[in-house]
Copies of this chain bind each other. A is one copy, B any other.
Amino acid sequence: MFIQIEPTSDIPIYTQLANQIIELIARGQLKGGDALPSVRALASDLSVNMHTVNKSYHELVHKGIIRIVPKSGAIINPIVQEGITNENCHRIIEQLKPIIAEALVLGMSPEEIGQHASSILVDLKGE
């Protein structure tokens, strides 16, 4: 599992870690049923605090992306095929809105925003 943490980034390390795991799932490089490394092993691999990895895993549980199974550890939930729930849809929109607002304020045109979103989708889906 290839994860790269940027210690100097503004983004908290636990968020970087959670985001990269989500990205690996979106790319199909991690699949439903796959186990994530133990908190101890991943913390050691990445030279970060175990508490940080633990916080990432809990964030992923909270988002419904992994589950913690006794004795097996953190297991990835299958990618949802039958459509997003209203609750998750609302959460995604609430996350997108401030970034799109920021993009507009900083001078990105609506067309550019759409193009960047499309490029990200193409990159993630490999299409």
Contacts and interface: CB of A to CB of B under 8 A. Distances in A.
7 contacts: A10-B62, A25-B105, A63-B106, A79-B105, A92-B106, A92-B108, A100-B120
What is the interface of chain A mostly: helix, strand, loop, or mixed? helix
Give the size category of A's interface with B. Answer: 35 or more
A104 interface: yes
A40 interface: no
B101 A19 contact: yes
A108 to B, nearest CB: 4
Interface in A47-97: 62-65, 79-85, 88-89, 92-97
A95 B89 contact: no
Contact of A97 (B23, B62, B107): B23
B64 A98 contact: no
A102 interface: yes
A26 interface: yes
Contacts of A85: 106-107
